[in-house]
Amino acid sequence: MTDLSAIDRRPEAALATSAAEVADFLALMKPRVMSLVVFTAFVGLMLAPGHFHPVLGFAALVCIAVGAGAAGALNMWYDADIDAVMSRTARRPIPAGRVLPGEALGFGATLAVGSVVMLGLTANWLAAALLAFTIFFYVAIYTMWLKRSTPQNIVIGGAAGAFPPMIGWAAAGGGITLESVLLFLIIFLWTPPHFWALSLVRSGDYARAGIPMLPVVAGRAETRRQILIYTAVLVPVSFAPWLLGFAGPVYGVVGAAAGALLAVLAYRVWATPEGRASDVASRRLFGFSILYLFALFAGLLVDRAVLIG
Amino acid sequence: MDERPTDKGIVLTEEQKRRRRARSIAIALALAALVLLVYVVTIVKLGPGAVQRPN
């Protein structure tokens, strides 16, 4: 017989009943981040040497997308306390009280294990290992450790966002090669100027939450300088696929045009220290940086299509 | 949200029941998609070999 007297009937226990909509669980997976992950993984998949069945390619992309979503859910589970005090994240499902922390943890952990096992079975275990490492890196290394302890958090943590094209490349049977490492390196170098541009605008938020983002710890001037330095390294490195002959003229032209614009926007951020103009410059750099990465990877894709066609 | 502990345990409101039903449907659809994915991947990877018994 079940002992019904053991059921917790305090009012606060009643509040522990899920009020989550399906959309809240989708929001836990950070769909906007996921879209860039899927796109870069798709490019890695398409660029890798050799042939693979389209169905297996699609299945691999689904696994990578779900793995990225799992990492997002686990990140939101762990970061719920700081999300609650930042205006940008206060409406996320957990701080808003729509999803219980335990639900997010169970959801994220289940999807993480499921996506890794499925990727191993559909593609190969190297790709699955890379996906598992990416999830581990994002959740344990970035979210639990670096984010709250060092202003270099997004520099090192950016590796997690840089792995998807490598996973796609490995899933297609290409292993780990110089080309796939270059794709990794481009996103790795892109992350700091991209994220610091946002953190310049949101530095008050991060300071309130006690997150040691670069503008909070080292100041706005140092952040603007670092944005310029990373952009100055990123743009030449972005030409490497073209110089090494694994990308064609479309990528070269797109990389030159988009790289020049990114450099101009980064320079404007550096040259505009204070006031509303500074915020505008930072927002422009942040917005364009997303387009920049998309354009680079689209250029690679077009070149490959031209090569095959 | 209006939910009070009663002698019958926790009684869900109509809104909570609607959301629970929506979540259940989403889980069912996700499981169906997973079954379909495993089936299609098996057929593609093994081809006719999927139905051949080893000697």
Contacts of B41 in chain A (CB under 8 A): 55-56, 59, 121-122
Residue A236 to residues A240, A256, A258, Cα–Cα distance (Å): 7, 9, 12
Domains of chain A with bracketed CATH: 22-175 (1.10.357.140), 177-309 (1.20.120)
A244 touches chain B (CB under 8 A): no
Cα separation of A86 and A231, whole Å? 27
pTM summary value: 0.89
Cα separation of B25 and B31, whole Å? 10
pLDDT digit string (tens) for A40-53? 999 999 999 988 89
pLDDT at A10 over 50: no
Domain ranges of chain B: 10-45
The interface predicted TM-score (ipTM) is 0.79
Pick the residue from chain B with its C-alpha nearest to A122: B41
pLDDT digit string (tens) for B1-55? 555 555 678 888 888 899 999 999 999 999 999 999 999 999 998 877 766 776 6
B26 touches chain A (CB under 8 A): yes
A20 touches chain B (CB under 8 A): yes
- Phi, then psi, of B6 in degrees rounded to 5: -125, 180
pLDDT digit string (tens) for A223-256? 999 999 999 999 999 999 999 988 999 999 999 9
Angle between helices A220-238 and A178-201 (to 10 degrees): 150
Cα separation of A91 and A98, whole Å? 10
pLDDT at A9 over 70: no
User: Residues of chain A with pLDDT > 90: what percent?
Assistant: 84
Cα separation of A145 and A160, whole Å? 14
Stretch among A187-201, A203-217, A228-242, A279-293 having the lowest mean pLDDT: A203-217
pLDDT at A151 over 50: yes
B4 touches chain A (CB under 8 A): yes
Pick the residue from chain A with its C-alpha nearest to B17: A19
Whether residue B23 and residue A18 make contact (CB cut-off 8 A), yes or no, is yes
Look at residue B4 in the predicted model and tell me its pLDDT: 59
Cβ atoms A20, B23 nearer than 8 A:
yes
What's the whole-number average pLDDT of chain A?
92
Look at residue A11 in the predicted model and tell me its pLDDT: 46
Listed residue (B45, B20, B29, B27) closest to A118, CA to CA: B45
